[in-house]
Amino acid sequence: MQRIEEAKIAAFFSRVRNVLAVNVAISLLTASFLWNFVSRGMLIAWVSSILAITAFRLCLLREYDRFPNVPVFLWQRIAITGSVLSGLAWGLLPTLLFPHGAPLQQILLLLVVMGMMAGSAVSWYAYFPAFQAYFVPLALLCLSRLVFEISSGKLAPGVITTVVSMYLIYSASLYSLARKSSRMLFRMLSSDAEKAASDLRYRKLFHGARIPMLLTDPETGHIVDVNAAACSYYGYAREALREMDMGEIHLLLPEEFRERLSRAEGEDCLHLSNRLASGATRDVEVHAGTLFLEQRKLHYLIIHDITERRRAEQELQREIAKTRLLFRTAGDGLHILDEKGRLLEASDSFYRMLGYTQQEMVGMNLREWDARFDADTDIEQLISQIPDNGRIVDTRHLRKDGTLIDVEIHAVNVIIDGKRFVYASSRDISERKLMEQRLRERDAHFTSILDNMPHMVWLKDTEGRYLAINRQLARTIGGESPSGFIGKTDHEIWPLELAEKYRRDDLEVMHTRRRKYLEEEGLNKGRKYWSETFKTPIIDDDGNVLGTAGYASDITGRKLIEESMKLSSLVFQTSGEAIMVTDEQNRIIDVNPAFTRITGYEPEEVVGTDSNLLHSETADHETLSVLLPSIEEQGNWQGELWSLRKGGEVFAHWTSISIVHTPEGHVHRHVLQFSDITEKKKKDEIIWLQANFDTLTNLPNRRMFRNKLRDAIRQSERSGLPFALAFIDLDHFTEINDTWGHDAGDLLIMEISERIGKPLRSSDTIARMGGDEFTIIIPELNDLARLGRIMKNMLVEVSMPYLLGQELVQITASIGLAFYPLDATDADTLLKNADLAMYAAKARGGNAFEYFTGAMKRKAEERIAFSRDLRMAQERGEFLIHYQPIMDIATGQLFRAEALMRWNHPSLGMIEPARFVSLSEELGIMPDIVEWLFHEVASTLKRWHGQYGRIVPLCINITGKLFSADEIGRQWSGWIERLGLPPGSLTLEIREDTLSRNPEKAKQLLDSLRRGGMEITIEDFGVGSASLEHLRNFEVDFLKIDRAFVSSVASEERDAAIVEAVISMAHHIGLRVVAEGVENLSQLEILKSIGCDFAQGFLYSPPLAPAEFEKFFCREAALPVRN
């Protein structure tokens, strides 16, 4: 339908151009004869509308020619629109421009309108909706004018009736004519479209077919057209074939071809021989028929190549003939049965086999000659059960003479034309059965022999397949029946590596035609074993190799014995232990090389001699008294003995002695094995000493002390007397190590261990627990006063000066005492309590001894809890920083501030550093705390600088352990530089005793810190013993006078003089002085009068929280406080 609509609109537009030209001409002609009879203005307007509509439609026509692919429905709407406009324009002509009083012009006008109506019916019927759009407005407007004229009475009634009737008849006729023409055009276009579609389908069918097809003229035999498959088949180009006659292809005269073709039209096909372009001849099957193409009668020929089919059919005929000949002359008894078991046909050999003639046997039933069946057997059912691939059975046939013969039958079911037949072959196997029986008997004898042989026996063909194996080999493989392995190869039985080896051996034997003997490893039910194997080729009388035969014996036991003997000999010769073999009289029979190496005796020196030649007079007689009875009763003994070497040297050896008996149970041999343990015993003694004694002091160590303490407890329990345990710890020993080094510390420990032992009795035990800790066990204590004197004397001895190199050093000790069983009833608690007492002595300042009390335990528990909380304080964020101002005494202005730590304990509240600094140092966490303090203070300085545009320099204290860290100067200087803080922003306060521990290292570190922009203050100046030396050796910026001097400066003239001297000395060497602990105005006035630079104390302000200090700082600097 789409194509028909497109054709209709195309036909419509093809007529529009001429119609529009006629419209223009008629409109101008009409205007000319109406010029003097109607309004000229309206006439001009009407002609202009006709011209405008014509121009518009011509533009649309041009667009149609330019864009033919625009959807057809759009052009249909455009066609209808143009037609409506044209119809309205021509319909307005009689309506608006009717010439009153001019009959001639009225008639001409009516003829023009009727002519336009007729023209539209002739020109625009191709697209009937467009015709309607033009015709209906025109006809109705004209009719309305006629009705108007009737109503006006300007026309005679007879004329009006005649004119209207004629007009209506005329309009109806034109409308009917246009409608019929449109329908006729539609049918014509439909027919053309159908014809075009049919032709297209034909072309697709013809040229798209994959089999050769030709169209020929039935009169001349000339080839009219061919498809691509025909060109490919015949080997000609299409144009070449279209110039040929069929006789040139089919090898027939034109008349003969037309005659056979006419006969073939009523048949299924025509068989011909065709010649190809290559000259080859092919047999073809031609299917022919008649068709009319473009009103022309043609023959179509469909070509099928049947050359191969013809050859196959001919071959089949030959095979059928051959088969019939073979059937008749076959040596086996071939025969054909129907589904009832009746004989239809048989070979001559089948008749001879059973002794019948063909006439006698055809029609007989299977029951009559097959001994398996009787009259009741359902033969038909048995035949139907024969499988499609056939069945082979052994049975017995009854001959005509009544004898029975053994036969082998091969029967196959065949369905032909829906009927079932049995094709069977019978072979007389009586001789074979007899031979098989004899072979079975012989095989049974052969198998019996093989299965009862103690060896594994087999036969293989040239491909390695087992032809026979005996039961022994089958069991070795892992089976019971040999038959399960017949026909298999080694690769199907053994692991790949073993199978490959067996196959290589077989190929070697067959290739060389020689026997082979070897010892090899095999598998027995998956377990490795050794076999002695013999293989030989099997060769027939003509010299052909038929396979291999072989046998194998399990020699695993023998190999194990041989291996054991070799191993025993190897062990005997290479053993690291000495081996000596003696006879029942203890005469030496043999010795190994290790015996010679250990004793110094060569074999020829000792063989045949008595074994007592090694006997030492120093031997343990108790051991010898046990040795001989043990050997006699148990047959063996082992233990430690002492003997003599050849050179007379006594040595210790660990010895094993065993007896070898004869089958009758008599002593046959003595075997002695021994190893020299002399060096081992010496090493064991060294190890024991190292494990139980301190290598530095030669005192018992912690392990030996524990044993001694347990012994003391047991002795106290037996005697009922108490004993005392003293725990000694040196005071400030780490400072010795830090200052003088660990070698000096070791010398000091050695000297102290000797001094500790001076006041003690020989029965008292002194031990070194490690580091600078010692313990003393004082047993059988019955005089407490004497114990006190011992402890005092010990403290005096320890506190006397020591000479370390060129330096005199003094150190003290703290001693804790606990009593068993008064203070504890077990070793661990006793040691713990003595340790607590020692800490109590240390808390008194050291160089003292304390007895354990219950209060110490409670205090220790509190200390443990306090230590645990202290370790977690930094992680929990409990440390805070408060700031105490340092004021310029002369100006009264804020100079800097000291950053002081506080611990905000969750249950104890705010704790000042005095309570946790020393404990932090003991716990080893003080460096981490000071490191945190440094970073917090530096970050605060950075924040102040950004927030207020200036900073208040801050001071922090650092401890000795942190001060001795190698990297601290570089790390802190780098941190200050990264923060961009100006020099002098941070001051480090260091105790003077910290500097005295390692002056050289302290000087290097102070120089590094100063280069990093930090200033140095020596605090607590005047308390230590080497203050002036520090000022001479170290570059510092400030001195801080200890609060002990400042507190009495107003009341003690001597202290005031000392402070004045320190200030004067500091000023002379360029240092500034800070006085800490200033609490009243009198102190401040005196400090001001003697020239002190700066003051710090509660007189100005206590330590302030960060927010409070910032307010103080802003107030002093007249800065706005910022939250």
The two three-digit tokens of residue 824, written as one number: 């504890």
Stronger pLDDT, 1042 or 293, i.e. the higher one: 1042
Average pLDDT, the chain: 81
Q: Where are the alpha helices (DSSP H) in 124-156?
A: 128-152
134 falls within a domain: yes
Domain of 396, CATH number, reads 3.30.450.20
**Residue 174's pLDDT band (cuts 50, 70, 90):** low
Domain with 646 in it: 575-682
pLDDT score for 465? 93
Could you tell me if residue 968 is left (phi over 0), alpha (psi between -120 and 50 degrees) or otherwise beta? alpha
Top mean-pLDDT range of 145-154, 523-532, 616-625, 701-710: 701-710
Place of tokens 């071959």: 315
Cα 964 to Cα 291, 374, 1005, distances in angstroms: 119, 122, 8
**874 burial via Cβ count (<10 Å: 0-12, 13-18, 19+):** middle
Residue 717 three-state SS: helix
Task: Answer yes or no: do 114 and 235 share one domain.
Answer: no
Q: Which tokens is 417 given?
A: 């034309």
pLDDT of 347 strictly over 90: no
Q: Is residue 781 situated within a structural domain?
A: yes
Whether 879 contacts 902, CB under 8 Å: yes
Task: Answer yes or no: are the C-beta atoms of 993 and 1031 closer than 8 Å.
Answer: no
For the residues 243-249, what does the mean pLDDT come to?
81
Q: Same domain, yes or no, for 937 and 844?
A: no
Q: Is 194 a residue whose pLDDT tops 70? A: no
Strand partners, 656: 638, 673
Confidence class of residue 175 from pLDDT cuts 50, 70 and 90?
A: low
Tens-place pLDDT, residues 882-902:
999 999 999 999 999 999 999
Residue by residue, DSSP assigns 1029-1041 as: HHHHHS--SEEEE
Within a domain: 863 = no
- How far apart (Å, rounded) are the C-alpha atoms in residues 110 and 104? 10
Name all contacts of 911-916 with Cβ < 8 Å and 24+ positions apart: 916/866, 916/870
Both 64 and 180 in a single domain?
Answer: yes
Q: What is the pLDDT of residues 351-387, one digit of tens each?
A: 888 999 988 899 998 888 888 888 888 888 888 888 8
Q: Which range scores top for mean pLDDT: 458-472, 765-779, 866-880?
A: 765-779
d(CA 92, CA 421): 100
Which pLDDT value is given to residue 1103? 94
Strand order in the sheet with 723-730: 765-770, 773-778, 723-730, 813-820, 848-851
Q: Are residues 1044 and 918 in the same domain?
A: yes
Do residues 611 and 497 share a domain?
no
Question: Residue 572: how many CB atoms within 10 A of its CB?
Answer: 15
Please check whether residues 940 and 804 belong to one and the same domain: no
pLDDT, tens digit, for every residue of 763-790? 899 999 988 999 999 998 877 788 889 9
> Would you say residue 600 lies in a domain?
yes
Q: Looking at beta carbons, which pairs linking 166-172 to residues 24 or more positions away fall under 8 Å?
A: 167/114, 167/142, 167/143, 168/143, 170/114, 170/117, 171/117, 171/135, 171/139, 171/143
How high is the pLDDT of residue 125?
59
Q: How much is the pLDDT for 557?
A: 75
Statement: residue 120 has pLDDT above 60 = yes
Say yes or no: 754 and 671 in one domain: no
**CA triplet 324, 327, 333: central angle to 5 degrees?**
165
What does DSSP assign to residue 653? E
Domain ends where: 146, 165, 193? 193
How many structural domains is the chain composed of? 7
Considering the domain architecture, whether residues 676 and 721 belong to the same structural domain is answered as no
The dihedral built from the CA positions of residue 111, 117, 118 and 120, taken in this order, carries a sign that is positive
Burial of 861 (0-12, 13-18, 19+ CB in 10 A): exposed
Query: Are residues 531 and 387 located together in one domain of the fold?
Result: no
Domain assignment present for residue 528? The answer is yes
> 637 pLDDT band (50/70/90 cuts)?
confident
Mean pLDDT (whole number) for 692-701? 90
Nearest to 1071 by CA among 1101, 1100, 1013, 1028: 1028
Radius of gyration from C-alpha coordinates of the chain: 68
* Domain boundary pick from 535, 559, 583: 559
812-849 confidence digits (pLDDT tens): 999 999 999 888 889 999 999 999 999 889 888 899 99
Q: Which of 892, 880, 898, 882 is nearest to 953 (CA)?
A: 898
Q: Which of 573, 790, 595, 566 is nearest to 676 (CA)?
A: 595
| β-pair partners for 674 | 578, 655
Strand partners, 549: 459, 536
* Structure confidence at residue 349 as a pLDDT band (50, 70, 90): confident
What pLDDT does residue 510 have?
92
Residue 337 CA to residue 366 CA, distance in Å, equals: 8
Residue 861 lies in a domain: no
Q: Pick from 506, 529, 559: which residue ends a domain?
A: 559
Distance CA 989, CA 973 (A): 16
Judge whether 397 and 407 are in contact, CB under 8 Å.
yes
- CATH of residue 811's domain is 3.30.70.270
Tokens at 260, concatenated: 């056979």
Note the pLDDT tens digit of each residue in 951-1005: 889 999 887 665 555 567 778 888 888 888 888 889 988 887 677 666 777 787 8
Cβ(260)–Cβ(236) under 8 Å? Answer: no
Residue that is written with structure tokens 């093809």 in the block: 14
Contact (Cβ atoms closer than 8 angstroms) between residue 522 and residue 550: no
Q: How far is 147 from 738, CA to CA, in rounded Å?
A: 140
Compute the Cα dihedral for 790, 794, 797, 799 and give only its sign: negative
In the Cβ-directed half-sphere of 65, how many Cα atoms lie within 13 Å? 9
Distance (Å, whole) CA 651 – CA 678: 6
Mean pLDDT, residues 503-530 taken together: 84
- Residue 864 located in a structural domain: no
- Residue 6 pLDDT exceeds 70: no
Q: Is 913 helix (H, G, I), strand (E, B) or coil?
A: helix
Do 175 and 215 belong to one domain? no
Q: Is the pLDDT of residue 747 over 50?
A: yes
Q: Considering the entire predicted model, what is its pTM? A: 0.37
Query: What is the 3-state composition of the chain as percent helix, strand, coil, each rounded to the nearest 5?
Result: 50, 25, 25
Long-range contacts of 31-35 (CB under 8 A, 24+ apart): 33/105, 33/108, 34/97, 34/99, 34/105, 34/109
The answer to whether residue 1093 is domain-embedded is yes
Q: What pLDDT band is residue 1026 in, cutting at 50, 70 and 90?
A: very low
pLDDT number for residue 1102: 93
From 154-163, 255-264, 531-540, the region with the lowest mean pLDDT: 154-163
Q: Is the per-residue pLDDT at 12 higher than 70?
A: no
| CATH of residue 1099 | 3.20.20.450
369 and 231 assigned to the same domain: no
Range 1056-1073 average pLDDT: 89
**Pair 953, 979: CB distance under 8 Å:** no
Query: Do 283 and 353 fall into the same domain?
Result: no
Q: Point out which residues pair with 534 in neighbouring strands.
A: 517, 551
207 in Cβ contact with 151 (< 8 Å) = no
Q: What percent of the chain has pLDDT over 90?
A: 17
Across residues 317-334, what is the average pLDDT? 73
- What's the confidence (pLDDT) of residue 709? 93
Q: How many CA atoms lie within 13 A of 2 on its CB side?
A: 5
SS (HEC) of 49-84:
HHHHHHHHHHHHHHHHHHCCCCCHHHHHHHHHHHHH
Alpha helix (H) ranges present in 253-337?
254-264, 307-329
Residues recorded for the chain: 1123
pLDDT of residue 1098: 93
The torsion of the CA quartet 461, 463, 466, 468, rounded to 10 degrees, works out to: -10
Residue 699: what pLDDT? 92
